Chain A
Amino acid sequence: MSVLTTNYLTPTGREEAWRFTPLKRLRGLHDGAAVQSDRESLITKGALPSGATFTRENLEPLSASDDVIIERVRGAVSSVAHLSIAANTELTEPIFLGRSAGGLDTAEFSRVRISLGTHAVATVIVENTTDTVLAEDLEIYLAPGSNLKFVTLQEFESKSVYTARHHAIVDKDATFKSITVTVGGDVVRILPTVAFKAPGASADLLGVYFATAGQFFEHRNHVDHAVPHAKSNVNYKGALAGKDAHTVWIGDVLIRAAAEGTDTYELNRNLLLSDGARADSVPNLEIETGEIIGAGHASTTGRFDDEQLFYLMSRGIAMADARRLVVRGFFNEIVTEIGNEEVQNRIMDRIDNELEKAARNG
């Protein structure tokens, strides 16, 4: 069901979906001004385990998208990078994907598919690096009984623009967990979305982001409970430091009339570490049936807790170290879910460095 319209709409910034995004900094991804490159940057890092294949194929999209940049990507690209995990394959080690090339003069339009066969179990870690302009349509399909942990690390360099939809379709009794980490880039806008296809499916959407001076990071979650007895949990945590650091978190959860027995909770916490930063946080819960187990949301935005800092400092810990401990602790809950110590340490060190940099710049 591909949508190949040629008359793309160009967002003006007044649309609900675009009202926070600095369109002028998208390097022409949204209005067609970007020059398409022939880069196909997504690569596997290291040898693939048995049961996993990585190919390029022409594939029709699995889902409709109302995002105008995704529409442009689908119109421009038919070759899809496809990571496929065969049915009944249980991988104990993560599969790492990375970027082979970047570039700011032209824009890469990318389509990616990750598919798990029935009862397959895998962890996929995508390391998004380089200085690049990249628009990406990434679709994931979890066949019945499969289990995927999907980690994306936005560690782009400082001028990068990344706009993407990471959409998972979760079939019967399948378990999806995504961990979205955004710590690098000029503008990063990701739509981590989930649609449940059959009962017994569950999804955990976790995320952390740390924006420093001038950076714009937006995460728009959408969970579509269209079937009964599915479970979802959204937990995103962000910190901001520095002038004009700006983050946006939107948490849309739709519980349709058919989705009896739904259990969902979404949470967003933001830590403002300096003046001049702005965190927008908008949970939206739309419920069309009362026959559910639970549905809730919470959103908090706060500064350093003076009592925590006092407690740590009263034990001899200097202010800067106390702040670092509190920030690390804040992110720890989600970062440890990655389950790979090397990656976790790298992300925590990056956060330490950003925090120090922000402190130095006042």
Chain B
Amino acid sequence: MSTLEIRNLQVSVNTDEGMVEILKGVDLTIESGQTHAIMGPNGSGKSTLAYSIAGHPKYTITGGTVTLDGADVLDMTVDERAKAGLFLAMQYPVEVPGVSVSNFLRTAATALRGEAPKLRTWVGEVKDAMEALNMDPAFATRNVNEGFSGGEKKRHEIMQLELLKPKMAILDETDSGLDVDALRIVSEGVNRAKAANNLGVILITHYTRILRYIKPDFVHVFANGRIVEQGGAELAEKLEASGYADYVSK
């Protein structure tokens, strides 16, 4: 059982006009097995929350705490956060030229498990993970995210989620750019990871359609750098009907 606790998190980013505050005090607690949907309009700070927890160097934490089972996440390097059990499925995963998917996955698994996975079982593990997400075996020989379609990038992110077995995952707009079939396949992958590892999930999305496949236990509405309303799955239905207009004007 793990708990990710975010307390009064304040985050700024350096721009041409100086430091701009994006997160203005975010409180959120996620337990293993729970799914928290974070919904909100573009520019409300949802992705900043995701990248700040993962430790992207662009963001400066100006206040608050993030802990995983009591350990200070903000004091960890990016790789230490992953080793502690955090995972970020990125909205725009970057290309890493010349590094094959199979080499990348094995290097990551070796780092996270503390030893190189046994080759025979590892090949099977990767093959199963790829088949489950309907991916061509040739995928493993391609360079990381190079020339991937939008859908392939997202499948690749969720494949990592299944293989690397984190405790807590943040999915940053994993649904964006996916057609209905790809959305279903990717969602099933998330649900498998939840069932297999009692994964806690922060699901960041602009739209409600992914919530038909991944059932949230809690829905938080994000606007202007903070959570402005919280509820259960029914809150998503209300947003589906009325949009974010009420929250933006507040």
Interface size of A by Cβ–Cβ distance < 8 Å?
24
A305 at the interface (CB under 8 A from B): yes
Q: Which of B78, B90, B99 contacts A326 (CB 8 A)?
A: B99
> Are the CB atoms of B111 and A318 closer together than 8 Å?
yes
A317 to chain B, nearest CB (A): 5
Task: Check A326/B56 contact, CB under 8 A, given A316-B108, A319-B79.
Answer: no
Interface size of B by Cβ–Cβ distance < 8 Å?
31
Contacts of A329 in B (CB 8 A): 96-99, 143
A324 to chain B, nearest CB (A): 9
Taken together as a complex, chains A and B put the C-alpha atoms of A305 and B57 apart, in Å, by 12
B54 at the interface (CB under 8 A from A): yes
B7 at the interface (CB under 8 A from A): no
Task: Check A319/B77 contact, CB under 8 A, given A329-B143, A333-B97.
Answer: yes
Binds B, one of A46-54, A165-173, A253-261, A306-314: A306-314
A331 at the interface (CB under 8 A from B): yes
Residues B58-92 near A (CB distance < 8 A): 58, 77-79, 81-83, 87-88, 90
Contacts of A330 in B (CB 8 A): 97-98
Task: Check A325/B104 contact, CB under 8 A, given A310-B56, A310-B57, A311-B93.
Answer: yes
Contacts of B79 in A (CB 8 A): 313-319, 322
A321 at the interface (CB under 8 A from B): yes
Q: Which of B87, B90, B97, B107 contacts A317 (CB 8 A)?
A: B107
Nearest chain-B residue to A332 (Cβ)?
A: B98
> Are the CB atoms of B98 and A313 closer together than 8 Å?
no
> Are the CB atoms of B111 and A317 closer together than 8 Å?
yes
B211 at the interface (CB under 8 A from A): no
- Residue among A311, A317, A319 facing the most chain B CB atoms (10 A cut-off): A311
A328 at the interface (CB under 8 A from B): yes
Nearest chain-A residue to B145 (Cβ)?
A: A311
- Residue among B56, B90, B93, B107 facing the most chain A CB atoms (10 A cut-off): B107
Residues A45-81 near B (CB distance < 8 A): none
Contacts of A311 in B (CB 8 A): 90, 93-94, 96, 144
Contacts of B12 in A (CB 8 A): none
Contacts of B82 in A (CB 8 A): 313-316
Interface flags for B160-178 (1: CB within 8 Å of A; 0: not) read 1000100000000000000
A309 to chain B, nearest CB (A): 8
Contacts of A321 in B (CB 8 A): 107, 111
B30 at the interface (CB under 8 A from A): no
Binding site for B on A (CB under 8 A): 305-308, 310-319, 321-322, 325-326, 328-333
What are 7 A-B contacts defined by CB distance under 8 Å? A308-B96, A310-B54, A310-B57, A315-B82, A315-B104, A317-B107, A329-B98
Binding site for A on B (CB under 8 A): 54-58, 77-79, 81-83, 87-88, 90, 93-99, 103-104, 107-108, 111-112, 143-144, 160, 164
